[in-house]
Amino acid sequence: MSGAPTGQETPGGAYLATRYREPRIETRRIYFADGRVEAYDGAAWWHLCDFTPEQVRQAQAAIRASGLMGAADLPAGDTHDTAALTYAWALDGQSGRVTNYAYPAARHPAFEALDRVLDALVGAAAPPADEP
């Protein structure tokens, strides 16, 4: 899969990448401008689904509307037993990342707003074109 880690926050051709990390678990999801959505479960990458061009536009609009591009990291503070959840973007000539270091005890409002749209888009998306 092309989503394999490259050292970049968002691999070439991607406009959004998410990464969940805790000591023994790592998951990722990458959204590409060509419509591919790839996922990693800590052991293997797979092609999750394909967005239409309109769904890509909706996902990108949701990134803008969520406030993600202007959001700040959420520190863990005094919260214990947390994981890091990072959302990185490359959109409109800008790139950046925001991390919630207190996940799941604290929810990042930008992540929550964006996830509502992305979850609906993934649920409505076509299965991968490269699978039988």
What's 39's domain CATH number? 3.30.1560.10
Task: Answer whether residue 75 is part of any domain.
Answer: yes
Task: Answer whether residue 78 is part of any domain.
Answer: yes
pLDDT of residue 132: 52
Mean pLDDT of 21-30: 92
CA 10 to chain centre: 9
Task: Answer whether residue 81 is part of any domain.
Answer: yes
The share of the chain scoring above pLDDT 90, in percent, equals: 72
pLDDT tens, position by position, 36-81: 999 999 999 999 999 999 999 999 999 999 999 999 998 988 888 7
Distances in Å between the Cα of 51 and the Cα atoms of 14, 97, 131 are: 13, 23, 15
pLDDT of residue 68: 96
Task: Answer whether residue 71 is part of any domain.
Answer: yes
Opening angle at CA 25, ends 103 and 19, nearest 5: 60
Total structural domains within the chain: 1
Confidence of residue 128 (pLDDT cuts 50, 70, 90): confident
The pTM for the full model equals 0.90
Mean pLDDT of the chain, nearest integer: 90
